Amino acid sequence: MGDVICTVDVVLLTLRTAALHVLLHRREREPFQNVLALPGGYVHPHTDRDTRDAALRVLQDKLGIQSPYLEQLATFSGPARDPRGWSVSVAYYALVPENLIGNGKDCSGTTALCPVDDLRGLPFDHAQIVETAVHRVRNKSSYSSLPMHLCQAPFTLPQLQTVYEAVLGEPLNKVSFRRKMDELAVLEAIPGAFSSGNAHRPAQLYQLKPAWRHALSVTERGI
C-alpha cells in the first residue's frame, strides 16, 4: 500500500466589511515555516474519532475557536501537493461571526484575516482549497440558512439581509427575503428584544433556534 500522509485543513470564513475573509495561521514548522496557510495538521489516529474531530481539534488548538458550524468540503490528494510526500487532505469549511475571531489586535502575527478575493502566496494547494470553499459557500447560501452562521446573534432581519447580500454579491428584495426566512423556519424572535441606537423605529431581534445552530435548512426554490 505504501505510505500516504493523512491531514486535515480548515477554511474558516467570516464577514468583515461586507466581504468574505479567511483566517490564516502562520506555520510553526517546515515545510513553509512562518508562511501563512490554512490551519491544518496530521490526523491523530490514537485520539481523533474521525477527520471531523481532527478538524475541530485543529481549530481549538491553533485558533482557540470551539465547534463552529463546520462541514466537510472535499478531499485533496496527490504526490505534489505536499513536499513531504503523497498526501491526502480532508478539507473542511467553517463559518463564524467576526466577533468570534477576536478583536483583530493579534500583535504576535500568528494569524491573519485575509479577503478571499485577494489571496497571494498560499502554500500547498491551499489557494485551490479556499477557492473550492468559497464557491461552495456562495452556491449553498443561495438556497439555505448557511449565511446565518456568519451573523452575530441577536440580529435584526435587515442586518441578516445585508449578510446574505454580501455573500451572494447581489441586492435582494426585502419582501421576498423575509418570505424565504419564514420558509427556512430556523429563526426565533427574542421576546421583548429590539434594536436601538439609530433613527429608525426599533426592529425585532432574532437568533437561530438551538436545533439549527449546527444544521442547515434549505429551500426548494432559492433565496
Distance of alpha carbon 167 from the chain centroid: 11
What is the DSSP code (8-state) at residue 62?
A: I
- CA 223/CA 220 separation, integer angstroms: 9
Instruction: Choose between 88 and 193: whose C-beta lies nearer to a second copy.
Output: 88
How far apart, in whole angstroms, are the C-alpha atoms of residue 181 and residue 163? Answer: 13
Q: Could you give the CA distance from residue 164 to residue 189 in angstroms, rounded to a whole number?
A: 19
Spatial neighbors of 20 by CB under 8 A, at least 6 apart, are: 13, 14, 115, 116, 117, 134, 137, 166, 167
Instruction: Please report whether residue 179 would count as binding a second copy according to CB under 8 A.
Output: no
Contact letters (x/-) for a second copy, 115-154, by CB under 8 A? ----------------------------------------
Q: Does 3 help bind a second copy (rule: CB under 8 A)?
A: yes
- Identify residues 16-75 at the interface with a second copy (CB under 8 A): 42-46, 49-52, 72, 74-75
- CA distances to 36, 79, 184 from 161, rounded to whole Å, are 32, 43, 14
Residue 217 beta carbon to a second copy: minimum distance, rounded to whole angstroms: 15
Q: In the complex, what is the shortest distance from the CB of residue 180 to a second copy, in angstroms, rounded to a whole number? A: 14
The nearer residue to a second copy, 59 or 73, going by C-beta atoms, is 73
Binding site for a second copy (CB under 8 A): 1-6, 42-46, 49-52, 72, 74-75, 77-79, 85-86, 88, 90, 220-222
